[in-house]
Amino acid sequence: MTLIKGDDLTLGYEGQAIISGLSFSVDEGDYLCIVGENGSGKSTFIKTVLGLIDPLKGHIEYCGGLRKNEIGYLPQMSGIQRDFPSSVMEVVLSGCLNRHRGLFYSSKEKSKAKEMLEKLGMADKAFSSFQELSGGQQQRVLLSRALMATEKLLFLDEPTSGLDARTTGELYGMLRALNGAGITIMMVTHDIHPALNDARTILHFAHSGYFFGPKDAYFGSVPGKEFLKESGHDN
């Protein structure tokens, strides 16, 4: 079942096209890695998929019962995020604000927040200060927050930025487990490892165009070979 698709899209800002002729689809259970050159349109693609900006041409279609406010989004970690003056539970609960009504969180929302923290091994930190956690622990909490918004699709932007190798491996392991449990993954990354090891589909942006297709076909293509070479995996 397809969750998101676009056909012959033109993406950009203020009438200035950055990407033209883009067609893609994301199926239920897919693991899509989005890679490519800086300034080639990855950020524009993120904002368009999330509904923050409109395509200059065409439209993004949400299918299979998915609504754009039901995409769990994990942005790049920023200094502001690291310094949230809130408890872990408050941060996780804020993930349902886009659908929340009323002044107080419901017992169902609180129960789901506890469930997400348990799933990611952070239940014992529920009432700890978010800003006092390690970088890896903070990323687990933010992933729990993203999961509050969705039961279908996670969209992550450079989720391992600033993490050490061990914590990066743990995060990829968690994403692999979530994908195995039925969560569809879309991830922007500069890291070759998830593309090689976990992705089923690759979307590669370049100033000269784009590639969209299965992982095996990608790594046999010109942009795929270049990505391998730049990452030191061309042997």
Give the chain's domain count: 2
State whether 117 and 162 are in the same domain.
no
Q: Does residue 71 lie within any of the structural domains?
A: no
CB atoms within 10 A of CB 70: 16
Given a contact cutoff of 8 angstroms between Cβ atoms, the answer to whether 34 and 205 are in contact is: yes
State whether 159 and 141 are in the same domain.
no
State whether 92 and 120 are in the same domain.
yes
Q: pTM for the complete prediction?
A: 0.89
State whether 88 and 132 are in the same domain.
yes
State whether 48 and 90 are in the same domain.
no
> Hey, what are 41's tokens?
């349109």
State whether 11 and 29 are in the same domain.
yes
State whether 52 and 166 are in the same domain.
yes
pLDDT in tens, the chain (235 residues): 999 999 999 999 888 999 999 999 999 999 999 998 888 889 999 999 999 999 999 999 999 989 888 899 999 876 545 666 789 999 999 888 766 565 677 888 899 999 999 988 999 999 999 989 988 899 899 999 999 988 899 999 999 888 888 889 999 999 999 999 999 999 999 888 999 999 999 999 988 889 999 999 999 999 999 888 888 776 5
State whether 143 and 167 are in the same domain.
no
CB atoms within 10 A of CB 230: 12
Domain encompassing residue 214: 1-66+152-235
Amino acid identity, position 95: G
